[in-house]
Structure 1
């Protein structure tokens, strides 16, 4: 085998994955996965230092090990020689952001800062900066900051500025010692090329960059001296598919690849998947469904969509406005319920029949008629990203009786996540940004019942990514463009992407039956969602009792 190949590396929440892809056909020739040894650091630092509520950190050495372990293993799996590789691309969860020295050294790798929580990277689902996010939003609204409308009127606690403000206020020494405040998506490219670069996607969606960052005057009004953050961010931005540089000697040693091959500019996991799924045309909403769901879509129309995570010119593909929205909990909600809601009898039945808990509950739930369980849930167990942008919200379930069974609750939770997606779609369309097709990628594609349920509830056909490696394949496609094998992302997506059109079509009878349940979901959404609502008061009581 002598064909040219590229490598895509996808950094997820719990693991990293590499895939070897043919430049000409997009055939996936080999893959390898590495689980982060430290996983998500939520309770204590590796040294034992305890963390507060809603923290989520990671360890940078785990990310380096992904390159060290998966790239050679994927090449072996593919039967491909390193000298056949012409480029490498990577994607990352976002906003996963870290403080670093001027040479790229993470602060947490300094001996005297290893016990300081704020020296570590903050994973995307670090929600302990909600108070800072509230102040970012309130002051921006008060001042009429023009960039706020591009983010649906609210900045998430997951984004760069809220997390940076938390560091500034809670560990000013760590903030001062950080020369750079950088997305992990860009930091890993630094490890590969030996020099810093910054991608427009992460800067635009997670760093509030709209032809410039928020002003120094605004940042100092948030907290005197906070404008120092701008110096830690400042760097030229590059668009998707551009070349960040050649693989350095250190990067070659880390990966086993030839020095000098093309390294694509960094990017965000959901956004690179659009190219993998051939979802780059206006109106195609890509849903990357896993622990959470990220909704991304290109449009020729610039609209102000409430609760969106951002709209960025050239944010996904050059020449169009790229939108992002999302749900903070989807697969995580289903996994939570399995971990605490499955009674012993069900566990035993699943064991005897050789099924997983998910498979057993799905089978039982699929046998029900729409609405037969008498339940409606709100999918806010990990907060609400869109359209309310509030991570102090929590889950709600109504309608339970002494006859309610586990499969009833399970189905209600599945339906709640689909109702959440329909809420997002409705917000786009009310803002004049049409959604014509849904394209699904991610681990939850493994559930045909869930996919059909989404088609029925959203009343739209679902196309699916015809690959289990969406982000990694997308990163490989970006690498092919960076290496000059294809002239642009659209051409590369057509040649290398994979999609099953109209894999799931809505059933008219079920779709009609879901409408009154969706109306109830919307009523609950509007009742429990306001900032002074019962869920916020309940969280305040909980926090006071801890």
Structure 2
């Protein structure tokens, strides 16, 4: 049975799927893990864990379906992450994760002053924020010079797995475009003057597109994983972009909305759109550009409330539904891990306004769901103001399993959301990319055949005025509380998490 194997390293787990040539999932496997937060604003993960979990997942999948003939391997992972390794491919320190890690504020300020904000945007597409990879590399050089001196190669989860599987040292263009300001977005190459200035001791990875074949499984990797030697492996890319592929939301005019530990939005177009409050990146495929954004918490916020309350998700969702639109007068800012787009404020913090003794946990949970929905609206409005032509919205990720959350997002934004049949996410998209890369020219699969739209969520137009009012208050609440919140963040910073 011809299959492809897809594996995605996420923030809270690594997931793998075994998929037949027609898109049918025949086996799944998951390994849960946690990030490390050694200090306030630091979010890290052990890079060796990514490979260990890949090995375990591959063995489990192949054991579950012994008749599977793996034609290709797809890889994906959270990002942009900065994992530096030495000449023996040993990580020199834990990987620094994407925009939820906010330690490089001083480096962002310094690079912006040295290079100029306009020039950074012209070359790299985006202003430097906590999402950018370049300042994280500079932070390591500044704060851990002995560690930096041993660093020879740069990896992200997908490229780390590709390296382990094939020996290829490669990074996809999409991921590279988030190592700002070291990538030239219009030229599609590393910007050598800035690379030499800020990452000169690190070899530049070869650049490819996400769906291109990076290499073949080596004998050593075959022995470790059970995947036959010679099996082709794609280059892969960051999970949000692979999720967009998994639901067919990577065409011009598409917006992918990913419900996960964080919330991610990717709008695809043909031209480079620049705005200081969003991320301008290369697309997953040649000839495309993206305007992207992300909330720092979504599933992480609901998970936090679940842990505090001791209730399970079905109970919380039922109570939130009983609470009703507006959460009985509660309004929440979901910035418990700072916020990425569009406010780009690592010192933002969560706020709950309007709380009384009459409110219950269902009201809090409803307010949390509405907070993420208002955050989505804030991002979509900003994208459209920058010129994004959003014609179609596709929802993906674990949060799509709950109808209430989807409905609240549609009600709060006025957006129609298409939900595909399979929302397992990036691991499925990675398997699809592997299938397209290894298929015969006359049998290249289509994602619309693999994963058709299952249902559509339409906004309740009668709730439009309510959510217009809540959104206005949401924006004003951030501005009104920002000064005090920043003082609190300053007090938090520097202590152990």
**Residue aligning to 1:111:** none
Match of 1:329 among 291, 294, 297: 297
Matched with 2:286 is 318
Determine which of 508, 529, 532 is the counterpart of 2:461: 508
Question: Deviation per CA, 1:21-70, whole angstroms, max 9, x where unpaired?
Answer: 112x111111112234xx3222xxxxxxxx33222222233222222211
Unaligned runs of 5+ in 2: none
Residue 542 of structure 1 corresponds to which residue in structure 2? 492
Equivalent positions of 1:243-262 (< 5 A) are 243-262=213-232
For 1:496 and 1:242, how far apart are their aligned partners in 2? 20
Is 1:150 aligned to 2:125, yes or no? yes
Deviates more, 1:367-376 or 1:395-404: 367-376
CA distance 1:182–1:230, change in 2 (3 Å): farther
Provide the C-alpha distance between the structure 1 equivalents of 2:443 and 2:47, rounded to a whole number of angstroms.
32
SS at match of 2:323: coil
Q: Which residue number corresponds to residue 520 of structure 1?
A: 473
Which residue number in structure 1 is paired with residue 246 of structure 2? 276
Question: Deviations along 1:208-249, whole A, 9 cap, x unmatched?
Answer: 422344564x67xxxxxx825145151321012100011111
Q: 1:269, CA displacement in angstroms?
A: 0.7
**2:450 corresponds to:** 496
Equivalent residue for 1:128?
103
Q: How far apart in 1 are the matches of 2:170 and 2:273?
A: 30
Is 1:359 equivalent to 2:314 in the alignment? yes
Matches of 2:18 and 2:292, distance apart in 1: 28
Q: Give me the TM-score of the superposition, normalised by structure 2.
A: 0.92
Change (3 A) 1:240 1:149: closer
Contact kept? 1:298, 1:323, Cα under 8 Å: yes
CA distance in 2, matches of 1:376, 1:131: 32
The question of whether the paired residues in 2 share the 8 Å contact of 1:274 and 1:474 is answered with yes
Quote the residue 2:388 is aligned against. Answer: 433
What TM-score results when the alignment is normalised by the length of structure 1?
Answer: 0.84
Q: Which of 464, 483, 490 does residue 419 from structure 2 map onto?
A: 464
Change (3 A) 1:106 1:371: closer
Q: How many residues align?
A: 491
8 A Cα contact 2:263 2:295, kept in partner: yes
**Backbone CA RMSD of aligned residues:** 2.4
**Does the Cα contact within 8 Å between 1:248 and 1:259 map onto a contact in 2?**
yes
Separation in structure 2 between the aligned mates of residue 485 and residue 17 of structure 1, nearest angstrom: 27
User: 3-state SS of the aligned residue for 1:367?
Assistant: helix
Q: Point out the more displaced range, 365-374 or 271-280.
A: 365-374
Is residue 75 from structure 1 mapped to residue 59 from structure 2 by the alignment? no
Encode CA deviations 1:394-425: one digit per residue, 9 max, x unaligned. 11121122322222222111111100100110
With 168-177 and 276-285 compared, the bigger mean Cα shift is at 276-285
Choose the corresponding residue for 2:274, options 304, 308, 332.
Answer: 304
Distance 1:250 1:149, change over 3 A: closer
Superposition pairs of residues 362-401 of structure 1, within 5 angstroms: 362-371=317-326, 373-401=328-356
Contact 2:332–2:353, Cα closer than 8 Å, also in 1: yes
Do residues 265 (structure 1) and 239 (structure 2) align?
no
| Distance of 2:475 and 2:123 partners within structure 1 | 25
1:468 Cα shift?
4.1
1-structure distance, mates of 2:122, 2:345: 19
Using the TM superposition, give the Cα deviation of residue 319 of structure 1 relative to its aligned residue in structure 2, in angstroms: 2.1
Instruction: Give, in angstroms, the shift of residue 17 of structure 1.
Output: 1.7
- Give the alignment of 1:15-414 within 5 angstroms: 15-23=13-21, 25-36=22-33, 39-42=34-37, 51-81=38-68, 84-107=69-92, 119-124=93-98, 125-141=100-116, 144-147=119-122, 150-151=125-126, 154-208=127-181, 209=183, 210=185, 211=187, 212-213=189-190, 216=193, 227=197, 229-312=199-282, 315-340=283-308, 342=309, 356=312, 358-371=313-326, 373-414=328-369
Cα pair distance change 1:177/1:132, threshold 3 Å = same
Distance 1:245 1:134 in 2: 39
Name the CA shift for 1:432/1:60 in 2 (closer, same or farther; >3 Å): closer
Q: Which runs of 5+ in 1 are unaligned?
A: 43-50, 108-118, 220-225, 351-355
